[in-house]
Amino acid sequence: MKTVFVLNGPNLNLLGTREPQVYGSQTLDDVQVLCERACAANGFALEFRQTNHEGTLVDWLHEAGHLHAAGTLAGVILNAGAYTHTSVALHDAIKGTGITLIELHISNVHAREAFRHHSYISPVAKSVMAGFGVNGYALAIAGLAGMQ
């Protein structure tokens, strides 16, 4: 059974109370349950994590890279939060590991402030998903299943 890494960056631990008009009212725990169900339905194991620290995300991408090299990674779904718009380090980690990665945003970043329109992740992502709310996580897991 292959593993899906779902990695969440800064401030996503605040889901449920953070700008609910933008991100909805479901919590990160709710998102984890949703991902567990989607992974079970598609025959994947799930590794679900959140951190507020950029270097930790880099370390986790490297860890996913080891699974990729061993042939046991289905792919990574990354909501890098604000690091999407700032992080060359995440760009380099994705490129350097060769992992299959889906960039995910709960909101439609292109309909928001101009500083959210640029992504350092998109050029090294296999796919980009934005604006489906938290249901985007389940859609991304189904998308990974279609790529196997």
Task: Decide whether 31 or 38 has the Cβ nearer to ligand DQA.
Answer: 31
Distance between CA atoms of residues 5 and 128, nearest Å:
16
Which of the residues 68, 83, 105, 120 is marked catalytic? 105
Six token digits for residue 8:
């969440």
The residues in 110-139 that bind ligand DQA, with binding defined as CB under 6 A, are 116
Question: CB–CB of 55/88 below 8 Å?
Answer: no
How near is the Cβ of 72 to ligand DQA at its closest, in Å?
Answer: 27
Helix (H, G, I), strand (E, B) or coil at 18: coil
Binding residue (CB under 6 A) for ligand DQA from 50, 54, 90, 105: 105
Helix (H, G, I), strand (E, B) or coil at 66: helix
Q: Give the distance between the most distant pair of CA atoms in the chain.
A: 41
Task: Decide whether 100 or 107 has the Cβ nearer to ligand DQA.
Answer: 107
Is there a catalytic annotation at residue 23?
yes
Binding residues for ligand DQA, rule: CB under 6 A, are: 11, 79, 81-82, 84, 105-107, 109, 116
